[in-house]
Amino acid sequence: MAHAISLARAVLAPGILWAALQGSGRLACVGLLVAGATDILDGYVSRRTNSQSTFGRRLDSTADSMVLIATSAALVILNPVILKDSWPLLAATTILYALSVGAPRRTTTKIAGALLYGFAIFTLASGDYVPALLWTVTIALAASSLEGMLRSLRRMRTPRKTMELNPSISNTRSHAPHATKDVGSSASPTSSIATSATPSANRTLP
């Protein structure tokens, strides 16, 4: 059920874009509101049914990204002045967000997402574009993306630091005793000497 709800949110993304192309900001706003509701509902259902999985998390993240892209495109289509006035900031924020994809979710991510959601709802419903709100949203999203990139780098460096601080971990195998390999005869020197020293039963005594 949780997967179906996430999939429904992914399907809503093209609908939001289609509404914007038709010039209906309010219809796009309705689609975004429904998408936001499914984002809350799929997490609730997955926890109640104990159906959390790696596939579910990936599907949820993919659906969120699709809605984000569709909503951003809808805002630009309905308000071209957004791209005209703030394209450098939007381009830098988009690049940072793309580089941080895959990083674990953080509190700053939720805050930036809530700000972006509120800005989109207000702009689509009212048709009014407030530059100060856009700058607030993009700065919050850029800061969240930078934090995610830094955390990912720290996680990548942690194993290296652990190996450097504990060199015994990498040398464990080299210090382990190795099995003795037999060379030549399979009999040990002691056993062969003892055998040669013992007179044979077939030898004739003088």
pTM of the model: 0.65
C-beta pairs of 164-168 under 8 Å, 24+ apart in sequence? none
pLDDT digits (tens, 9 = 90+) for 33-43: 999 898 888 77
pLDDT digits (tens, 9 = 90+) for 91-118: 888 888 888 776 666 677 778 888 889 9
User: For the residues 120-135, what does the mean pLDDT come to?
Assistant: 91
DSSP state of 50: T
User: For the residues 135-150, what does the mean pLDDT come to?
Assistant: 86
Q: CA-to-CA distance for 86 and 131, rounded, in angstroms? A: 9
Answer yes or no: are the C-beta atoms of 95 and 40 closer than 8 Å. Answer: no
Percentage of the chain modeled with pLDDT above 90: 20
- CA torsion through residues 180, 181, 185, 187, sign: positive
**N- to C-terminal Cα separation, the chain:** 99
**What are the structure tokens assigned to 115, written together?**
């700000």
pLDDT digits (tens, 9 = 90+) for 163-194: 455 555 444 444 444 444 444 444 444 444 44
Q: Which of 145, 76, 140 is closest to 112 using CA atoms?
A: 140
> How is the chain split into domains, by residue range?
1-78, 79-165
Average pLDDT, the chain: 76
